[in-house]
Amino acid sequence: MTCTHLCMQYPAGGATPGFPEYAEALGQVRIGGAKAAPAGAPKDRPPQPFRIDCQRIYYDGRYDAVTLEGVGNSPLEIVDEVGELHTPKCVISRRDQTLSMPTWGQKRLVIRPGAMQMLSQKPEGTRPQDPAPASETLLDLGAGELEIEWYGQFARRLAALPVPTGAPERISEVLAIDGDVVIRQKARGLLIQGQHLSVERDTATGRLQRMDGQGAVLVRMEGMQVVGEKLTAGLRYDGTGAMVENILTVRSAGPAQRATVATGDMAIAGPEFAIDALNKSFRAANGVVARVTLPGAQKPDKLPDAAAGGSAMMPGFALGAGGRLNLQCDGDLLFDGPAGLLRITKNVLVYQDKMRIVADEMYLKLDAPKAEPQTPGKEEAKPKPRMGVTGLGVPGMPRQGPGIPMGQPDAAPPRKEGLGSGMFSGTPRSVECLGRVEIITDTQVVQCDHVFYDMVEDRAFLKTTDPEHWVQIYIGEDSGASRMLWAQHRLDYDGKSGRFTPADGKSYLLTPYAGVVPLPRDAAPKDLSRKGTP
């Protein structure tokens, strides 16, 4: 240790000096050396070098706390095998196991990948709990070197986790960072921004439990961008340590504002949404606007002659044929990944090119993508230990638990289909619309109460809730005249042959129509004399 001025005060009459009551070092303070391996580390682990540069160190024996300060443009610097810390001031309490940076000013923290093994603070000779296994997560903070910059305050504290009666005590570590927080991870293209960020993890296992962001939050990662006012990532594990829940929730600043999530060729905006990373499911609530590109084979350019007439009268059923859909609703948009089902509720509007669908509720069924078969005899690579950070080499600061978990192995995991590369994975199979349905194109208007379209077989049916009501299809012709197709209760349509089939025992009619607006939904062919009503 070197400095310009040093003062130390011990209790009077002490035979062997221990920790002083008071100690202060001023002026170009430098502390350097090598740290011995912590308890439980491999015996062949060599000592790790560390360095502390600052302008003042102050130790208060009453609170067993150390204060380190920089001056002006010379911030406090701590460098060790775990990473680097640059900050104007840092306060470390051995007694409370807290660390804080109470002053405002530019700060920077660098976490090196694979810096240290996840080791708990345990007595010599005991084995710490195994580190959390690597698992698929939206916020993988361990795929490379992590850089954190912020301007406000920082605080680390310990809190007891709830446990069953008689179970061993569990301690969580909570980190809170304030003021223009920016987290970067170049190896994975990860960027997190916000005004406040907090992280909570279990110190015994090193498992991340929760992450919260607030204030103009932006998360950008492989193939996905999330923007909102508040963000919460919640994770839960079973007794074996396997992850059983990984949900990312994003909220806007208020009902009139929108949070957004975009991935691949898809974007969704709404007041609130949640992403279930394990089940590849998604939920947006309370009014949603979305743009989605659905995969699927296009219809052939030329249909058989028998089908040409029918196709001309039903052009709206090109929905989902590989095109981009614009969706909006006043209710919820829910995608169930395992079931491959997208549900949209309340005043649904879907439009694609020159086609528009209006309904009370809509269901889109997708075929789940097939899993790639495993190569026989090929063993999975075991994850490398995840890294952490505690104390950053400050002498006398015991390590509480294995450190802050930074997520996954050093190598970035292979990109997978699903939420990371497309919000709704799978090939469209069918679409179903319920409740006062309208399908509108340049040449036709379809009115009914229920539509189901099988995209694979190119078959559809249109029906009314009341068996006595008629399905109404208004058809515009090149000459400017209009015709109207009536089908009582139900009409089946085969896109391959272009054939219409009425319901059993019912009939359908094709008549001229001279009106300028659609008839009421309960109208019948006998009402044609009404010529449409405004």
The full DSSP string for 219-254 is: EEETTEEEEEEEEEEEEEE-TTS-EEEEEEEEE-SS
The predicted pLDDT at position 452 comes to 95
Q: Look at the block and give the residue holding tokens 């594990």.
A: 237
Nearest alpha-carbon partner for 266 in 424, 455, 429: 424
Burial 68-98 (b: 16+ CB within 10 A, else e): bbbeeeebbbbbbebbbbbbbbbbbbbeebe
Nearest to 189 by CA among 249, 141, 133: 141
Q: How much is the pLDDT for 410? A: 35
Q: List the helix and strand counts (H, then E) for the chain.
A: 1, 33
Q: What is the pTM of this model?
A: 0.74
**Amino acid of residue 80:** D
Q: How far apart (Å, rounded) are the C-alpha atoms in residues 328 and 349? A: 5
- pLDDT tens-digit readout, 295-304: 654 444 444 4
Backbone angles phi, psi at 317, to 5 degrees: -85, 20
Cα 112 from Cα 348, distance rounded (Å): 49
The secondary element (H helix, E strand) that includes residue 214 is: strand 208-221
259, 269 contact by CB (below 8 A): yes
Q: Which H helix or E strand runs over 507?
A: none
Which residues 6+ apart lie within 8 Å of 202 measured at CB? 161, 170, 171, 172, 209, 401
Q: What is d(CA 207, CA 30) in angstroms, rounded to the nearest whole number?
A: 34
Start-to-end C-alpha separation, the chain: 90
- As a whole number of angstroms, the distance between CA 316 and CA 318 comes to 5
Distance CA 83, CA 144 (A): 12
Residues of the chain with pLDDT under 70: 14-17, 38-41, 114-143, 294-323, 368-426, 505, 527-534
pLDDT of residue 299: 47
Fill in the amino acid letter for 58. Answer: Y
Report the pLDDT value the prediction gives residue 415, as an integer from 0 to 100.
41
- Contact assessment for residue 52 and residue 39, using Cβ atoms and an 8 Å cutoff: no
3-state helix, strand, coil in the chain (%, to 5): 5, 50, 45
- What would the pLDDT profile of 7-57 be if each residue is shown by its tens digit? 998 887 765 567 788 999 999 999 999 887 766 667 777 888 999 999 999
What was the pLDDT predicted at 453? Answer: 92
pLDDT for residue 29: 93
CA-CA distance, 140 to 407, in Å (whole number)? 5
Record the tokens describing residue 434, joined without a space: 């319920």
How high is the pLDDT of residue 318?
Answer: 52
421: left (phi over 0), alpha (psi -120 to 50) or beta: alpha
DSSP string, 21-84: SEEEEEEEEEEEEEEPPPTTS-TTPPPEEEEEEEEEEEEETTTTEEEEE-BTTB-EEEE-SSEE
Count of CB atoms within 10 A of residue 44's CB?
6
Could you give the CA distance from residue 26 to residue 20 in angstroms, rounded to a whole number?
17
What is the b/e burial string over 281-293, where b = at least 16 CB atoms within 10 angstroms of the residue's CB?
bbbbbebbbbebb
pLDDT value of residue 129: 45
CA distance 341 to 506: 33
CA distances from residue 431 to 343, 362, 494, 533 in whole angstroms, order as listed = 10, 7, 15, 31
